[in-house]
Amino acid sequence: MTSPSIFQPLSSDWIIRGGFDSKSPKRFQQFSMRSVTNKLSGFSLSKSDAACTFRVLSSLQINPNVPQTTESESALILIRHGESMWNEKNLFTGCVDVPLTEKGVEEAIEAGKRISNLPLDIIYTSALIRAQMTAMLALTQHRCLKVPIIVHSETEQARRWSQVYSEGTKKQSIPVVKAWQLNERMYGELQGLNKQETAEQYGKEQVHSWRRSYYVRPPNGESLEMCLGRAVTFFKEHIEPQLLIGRHVMVVAHANSLRSIIMYLDKLTSQEVINLELSTGVPMLYIYKEKNFIRRGSPLGSSEAGVYAYTESLAMYRQKLDGDIQ
């Protein structure tokens, strides 16, 4: 099945169901550098960029060619970034690159405490600083004490200059992969405008339609359907193969890119997804087992015990952490 461009109308059936067909498990089992060069929603990586990404992940011991098993389970953690400076000012942010507020920093640290007992092998963030800050701050609280290292694969020189040569250091590191496909929905000409003032100018119904309709685009911006096209395609092509080989993954992104991914994971309808609310800085946990996603966390929990129903393997991991620290 051919992947449509993100600028063409997309069928949610293609993304959620048809885009993941009976041949997908075989394709994932053959995951290699070839899949890094695949087209993502009409955007192709150059062969040199794909080769750089492949070598960087391999150098950090994230080997795309590791033999895969369906017997194990993997943890998937989703976190919306902490409060940004434009969240605080009630401005449409979209793809404008603004940092966290003091409250956002605190939310990121609190998120880190809540995931501190969960295993992590690799982190994916958007290309925007608020998501990257959240990921880095969260990792400062993790009990594994591993150091997050941003993967630089923009050019061959960037890869060489950021290479780690100590095997011991690699084992104490977690690669962080940035992807523009995980960016927030692009709000077009609304970016930078005050939400309340925009509602007064254009009417609450019109602004609500721009913000929460699945198909409607704000002026020169993306619809949620278009955002889903790039975010879910990236998830299926890059993140799901990591889960399939038993890697534990954290994704730190934005309200609409995460809504899109959750629509795929939970098989939500276009009406259900537009009503999905995601709080800033609150982790959600999924278990990936036998090619199925099982939600184990509620965003409403106020404590680790209230949020996560541990599986046996996660409980064993925490037990190991307790033993290592004692």
Residue 226 labelled as part of a binding site? no
Q: What is the pLDDT of residue 72?
A: 80
27 is in an annotated binding site: no
87 appears as a binding residue in the annotation: yes
Backbone angles phi, psi at 268, to 5 degrees: -80, 155
pLDDT digits (tens, 9 = 90+) for 85-98: 999 999 999 999 99
Indicate the range of 17-21, 233-237, 259-263 predicted with least confidence: 17-21
pLDDT for the residue numbered 153 = 87
Amino acid present at 54: F
Of the residues 107, 184, 222, 240, only one is catalytic, namely 184
Model pLDDT, residue 99? 98
pLDDT at 319: 75
DSSP string, 79-132: EEPPPBHHHHTTB--TT----B-HHHHHHHHHHHHHTTTS--SEEEE-SSHHHH
Catalytic residue among 81, 142, 238, 254: 81
At 275 the pLDDT is 87
Q: What is the pLDDT of residues 142-167, one digit of tens each?
A: 999 999 999 998 899 999 999 999 99
What proportions of the chain, in percent to the nearest 5, are helix, strand and coil? 45, 15, 40
> pLDDT tens digit string along 1-19?
443 332 333 344 433 443 4
* Residue 184 annotated to the active site: yes
185 is in an annotated binding site: yes
Q: What is the pTM of this model?
A: 0.76
Catalytic site includes residue 254: no
Query: 106 labelled as ligand-binding?
Result: no
pLDDT at 323: 73
pLDDT in tens, 170-197: 999 999 999 999 999 999 999 999 999 9
Domains identified in the chain and CATH numbers:
12-325 (3.40.50.1240)
Asked whether the predicted pLDDT for residue 45 surpasses 50, the reply is no
217 is an annotated ligand-binding site residue: no
Phi, psi dihedrals of residue 236, rounded to the nearest 5°: -70, -35
Average pLDDT over residues 297-326: 60
d(CA 319, CA 326): 11
Instruction: Confirm whether residue 212 is marked as ligand binding.
Output: yes
Q: Is the pLDDT of residue 140 over 60?
A: yes
